[in-house]
Amino acid sequence: MLLAELVSTTEEVAATSSRLSKIDALARLLERAEASEIDAVIGLLLAAPRQGRLGVGWRGIAALEVSHAEVPTLTVGDVDDSLETLAAASGTGSAAGRSRILGALAARSTAAEWDFLTRSMLGELRTGALSGVLLDAIARASGRVPAVVRRAAMMSGDLGETARIALTGADGDLEAVGLQVGRPVLPMLASTATSPTAALALTGEASVEFKLDGARIQVHRHGDEVGVYTRSLADITHRVPEIVEIVRSLPADDLILDGETLSLDEDGGPRPFQETMSRFGADVARELVLRPWFFDVLHVDGRDLIDEPLSVRLSELSRVVGEWRMPGIVTSDPDAAEQLSREALVAGHEGVVVKALDAPYAAGRRGKSWVKVKPVLTYDLVVLAAEWGSGRRSGWLSNLHLGAADPDGEFGDPGGFVMVGKTFKGLTDELLRWQTETFPAFETRRTQGTVYLRPEIVVEIAIDGVQKSPRYPGGLALRFARVKGYRPDKTAAEADTIQALRTLLRN
């Protein structure tokens, strides 16, 4: 398949607001793809090449001086081979080697193809919401049931693999994709409510549990082999040996657990989220011991529990993890839920999560079965730009331009972001320094006083609400926004949506 076919399809998708038209265009593209090209096609469309990190930055690409091809001859296979070589480059001279590989690829590309490749390699295609459309396109192209395709994608955590099985596999192959110990699945997500009482109105009788300001973890065990994964499915096993030892001590040979971890201070209270996350980085601060709390179990000793109601899963969870279970109660009483929320806050935690007892585990989905309640409204937004500060903040990148996800393309491309406010409140000197050092690597352009960024950095913002405003395209603005901290554990695809913020206008 020619790369030009991908380029023309993405242009066709971007040019229409009709979801059905997008699905049709992508389905036609997938029908033409060879089996060996499917993983690469999906990766390029999602701006997430199958090779993973390529070691490519905006400045390196901008420094290239090449003449592009006039006629498209580059194939998807050619691109995939080049990206494979690019990802493998390491050691002395690797920067120069990557530059040569990029230069050769750019010279073989037409201008339109190179623009597409650049944005795909840098994650700039704004396709955070395209995965949902692609799932329907895979179903259309393969003649499979959409629900089966979606479930396989959730179980595998790999859209390329799902597409390949759907398009080339035999009957029953897609249905056979299920939980596999050692292969992480997309985590179930929670919606938000303003109080435990409001949350219980959505769920009915529920498990009301502490909401920690910790890092989400998913743990897999097969015998003595243990894997620990982040919410984005990154493997951090070697960085959390204390969690590995705890999991090995549990009374089961095969396990998949969902939970959170954080570091505690000398008094047993939670340390700040950023300190917990430092354990996931390259420089492991081993003096910060992590403590896990598990709140769900998806598999125990050959038995998949993912489709069982939460009540069944919690019974197994208590049996398996004992003292490592997340604190909580089962209740339909709003007063009891409110009391537990107060206890969580007194203990230094964020609030509570209210979970419907009759709900299965919906991997990768955000619905009304899990509802988180925090006393302060916080949202995960994307940094679109930063302004140079003045006065005490002179010389630092300071005032942040904040964007909410626009998955349906109400205000631009589907999967893009719409600006909803600015803030520099809550930025410590340490954060100002970090922003100024880090943001230039994400720069796309700058004007006098403002540096514009690729929409990849997620920041947690506390607000007092939203208000109608003609200042921003989404028609609303944040009220009293302040920075709580950056969320390196989250991708831009997990940012809160403009629709979620809009519900605050109604409330």
Whether 174 is covered by a domain: the verdict is no
Domain match, 317 and 430 both? no
- The two tokens of residue 174 are 């897609």
Buried b (16+ CB within 10 A) or exposed e, 428-443: eeebbebbbeebeebb
What is the CB neighbour count within 10 angstroms for residue 268?
9
Which residues are registered as beta bridge partners of 206?
Answer: 331, 356
Domains held by the chain: number: 3
Whether 179 is covered by a domain: the verdict is no
Domain boundary among 113, 134, 168: 168
Domain match, 23 and 145 both? yes
Question: pLDDT at position 125, please?
Answer: 61
Question: pLDDT at position 410, please?
Answer: 85
Domain match, 369 and 382 both? no
What is the CB neighbour count within 10 angstroms for residue 456?
15
Dihedrals phi, psi of 132, to nearest 5 degrees: -65, -40
Q: Please enumerate in sequence order all residues whose Cβ is within 8 A of that of 289, keeping only pairs 6 or more positions apart, or say none.
A: 242, 263, 264
Domain match, 320 and 200 both? yes
Helices 76-88 and 94-108 pack at an angle, to 10 degrees, of 170
Domain match, 239 and 368 both? yes
Q: Which residue has the tokens 């070697």?
A: 238
Contact 326, 209 (CB under 8 A): yes
From the candidates 22, 211, 422, 484, which is the catalytic residue? 211
CATH number of residue 492's parent domain:
2.40.50.140
Whether 176 is covered by a domain: the verdict is no
Q: Is 75 helix (H, G, I), strand (E, B) or coil?
A: strand
Whether 54 is covered by a domain: the verdict is yes
Domain match, 367 and 417 both? no
Domain match, 157 and 28 both? yes
Question: pLDDT at position 507, please?
Answer: 55
Distance CA 365, CA 162 (A): 17
Question: pLDDT at position 3, please?
Answer: 95
Domain match, 425 and 281 both? no
Known active-site residue 211? yes
Domain match, 161 and 41 both? yes
Domain match, 204 and 334 both? yes
Handedness of CA 424, 427, 429, 430 (dihedral sign): negative
pLDDT one digit per residue (tens) for the chain, 507 residues:
999 999 999 989 888 878 899 999 999 999 999 999 999 999 999 888 888 878 777 777 878 888 899 999 999 999 999 999 988 887 787 888 888 999 999 999 999 999 899 888 877 665 434 777 899 999 999 999 998 998 898 888 889 999 999 999 998 999 998 888 999 998 999 998 889 999 999 999 999 999 998 999 999 999 999 999 998 888 999 999 999 999 999 999 999 999 999 988 888 888 877 788 777 765 555 678 899 999 999 999 999 999 999 999 999 999 999 999 999 999 999 999 999 999 998 888 889 999 999 999 988 778 899 999 977 788 999 999 999 998 888 899 999 999 999 988 888 878 889 999 999 999 999 999 999 999 999 999 998 889 999 999 999 999 978 888 888 888 999 988 999 999 998 989 899 999 999 888 765
Domain match, 164 and 52 both? yes
Distance CA 190, CA 192 (A): 7
Distance CA 136, CA 150 (A): 8
Whether 69 is covered by a domain: the verdict is yes
The parent domain of residue 456 ranges over: 377-506
Q: Which residue has the tokens 């249905």?
A: 175
Length of the chain: 507
CATH number of residue 93's parent domain:
1.10.3260.10
Question: pLDDT at position 75, please?
Answer: 95
Domain match, 254 and 364 both? yes
CATH number of residue 293's parent domain:
3.30.470.30
Whether 24 is covered by a domain: the verdict is yes
Distance CA 34, CA 443 (A): 36
Domain boundary among 358, 373, 388: 373
Taking the CA atoms of residue 497, residue 499, residue 505 and residue 507 in that order, the dihedral angle to the nearest 10 degrees is -100
Contact 209, 283 (CB under 8 A): no
Report the run of H or E that residue 3 belongs to, with start and end.
helix 3-15
Contact 252, 320 (CB under 8 A): yes
